[in-house]
Amino acid sequence: MKLFKGLTSPRAGGTRRGVQAMSIAAAAVLALSACSAGDGDNSSGNSGGKLTFSNWQFLEDGKGPILWDAVKDYTGPDGNVSLTKIEIPFANYADKLSTELGAGGGPDVMVLQDSQFASLADAGVLEPLDDIAKELGDSLNGTNKAGFFQKKQFGFNWERPTYNTVIYNKDLFAELGLKVPTTFDEFLATAKTIKEKRGIAGWAGRHQTAEIDGWTLEMANWIYGFGGGLSDGKALTIDAPANVKAVESFLETFKSGVAPIGDDASTFRAKFGQGQVGMLFENSGVATTLTSNPKNVINGQNLGAAPLPMANAGSNSQLIIAVNAASKNKAAAKDFVRWVLGEKGQTAIRAGLGASAMATDVEPDPEFLKANPWATQFLEAAKTSRSTLVEGFETESKVIWREFLTAVEGLRVNGGDVAAKLADVQKALKAELG
């Protein structure tokens, strides 16, 4: 089963903006520290020594220990490397890494979200890895284009959990005689039926800027699903008709009463696991977590998964493995990345990544797929899912999404004309970003 053959090679990406304040500051620090870093740099020759590897996932229940066990015994091609994990909670992971890297420090190897990856690559604090891309060639699938920035390969796909899927309670659907919805109208009608006949939420999703990062991923499903986007690659398109329709449909879903207002993601996911929510638009990691919890009524056999009930594919969360440009042991760091991308490394970490797409087409364990038939949908969905980075405005994506979602939250709470509100956001962001 070749998962990603046919996708483009990892030679895309970039940004329309120049170096921002953070980039200038980081580059200046690197310029000042270049001599000291270079004196200890072991970028060629003997690649032994100690390596630090940073990933917030090491702290995640269940998943973290599996991932660390998969890599902890790595000793390098000559058996003289020791690996140390750096555990930083997700809540302050990005800020801490940016501060450390900007000061010429930080871990040797790290896992990054794509939005932070773009900013750090733009700042010049990540090591180009074009030689690895060339060496591994066709063994890498198209998901690795996410690590290509400004004509260089700065990273590779560590994990791509796709949100491009609706998950549902198969037992509930069978009990109520429901069919899996394929359009928005069918979706809303199905959610209403669940609410009316069972008295539980027909669907649930993020809807508050207090969960801005997660909501970005979920709201992108709606925007992309309705054929929209926040840019055309050159200019912002915040108030495009497709975006207006997507937001109107999102607001209609909450106004209909089928979705709980106020529940955060941990709350509505827990409710879904206990059979108190009918449907979610979710990612592969959450599906794995839900089905592996023996206390849930949802399990690998009664979790249903299908394409989004919209005309177009949705979003993904992209995690990228990269190397610190200031590492004093770049050769060992790059050897580790090669190992992660090779057959042994991909097979080792696959056990902790469930149904997420990986850098190569390494298949999940057959027993896992047998126990979790829903996983196939997520692997298929990863082929067409899209990053939430705003094309052409990659380093400003968070700013753009924050302004957009703040407006959507205001419309949900206070009402108003969607087209007019998004036109205001378009005008404000155009004035700010050019």
pLDDT digits (tens, 9 = 90+) for 389-415: 999 999 999 999 999 999 999 999 999
- In terms of Cα–Cα distance, which of 297, 308, 294 is closest to 186? 308
Homologous superfamily in CATH for domain 21-161+317-361:
Periplasmic binding protein-like II (3.40.190.10)
What's the confidence (pLDDT) of residue 288?
87
Contacts of 238 (CB under 8 A, 6+ apart): 230, 400, 404, 422, 423, 425, 426, 429
Least confident of 26-40, 93-107, 326-340: 26-40
> Do the Cβ atoms of 382 and 23 come closer than 8 Å?
no
pLDDT digits (tens, 9 = 90+) for 279-309: 999 999 899 889 988 999 999 999 999 999 9
Contacts of 313 (CB under 8 A, 6+ apart): 164, 224, 225, 307, 381, 384, 385, 386
pLDDT at residue 192 is higher than 90: yes
Spatial distance between the Cα atoms of 266 and 245, rounded to a whole number of angstroms: 28
Mean pLDDT, residues 336-341 taken together = 98
Cα 371 from chain centroid (whole Å): 25
CATH hierarchy code of domain 166-315+389-433:
3.40.190.10
pLDDT at residue 348 is higher than 50: yes
Domains 21-161+317-361 and 166-315+389-433 share a fold: yes
Spatial distance between the Cα atoms of 220 and 236, rounded to a whole number of angstroms: 15
pLDDT at residue 265 is higher than 70: yes
Q: Where are the domains of the chain?
A: 21-161+317-361, 166-315+389-433
Confidence class for position 47, pLDDT limits 50, 70, 90: low
- 249-273 as b/e, with b when 16 or more CB fall inside 10 Å? bbbebbeeebbbeebebeebbbbbb
Q: What is the distance in angstroms between the CA of the first residue and the CA of the last residue of the chain?
A: 45
Q: Is 280 helix (H, G, I), strand (E, B) or coil?
A: strand
- C-alpha separations of 376 from 125, 160, 305, 317, 414 in Å: 37, 14, 9, 18, 41
pLDDT at residue 39 is higher than 60: no
Q: Which segments of 286-376 are extended strands (E)?
A: 303-306, 319-323
What's the confidence (pLDDT) of residue 27?
41
What's the confidence (pLDDT) of residue 397?
94
Spatial distance between the Cα atoms of 266 and 424, rounded to a whole number of angstroms: 32
CA-only gyration radius of the chain, Å: 22
Confidence class for position 337, pLDDT limits 50, 70, 90: very high
Least confident of 22-36, 138-152, 284-298: 22-36
What's the confidence (pLDDT) of residue 62?
78
- Residue 13 half-sphere exposure, CB side, CA atoms within 13 Å? 31
Mean pLDDT, residues 198-202 taken together = 98
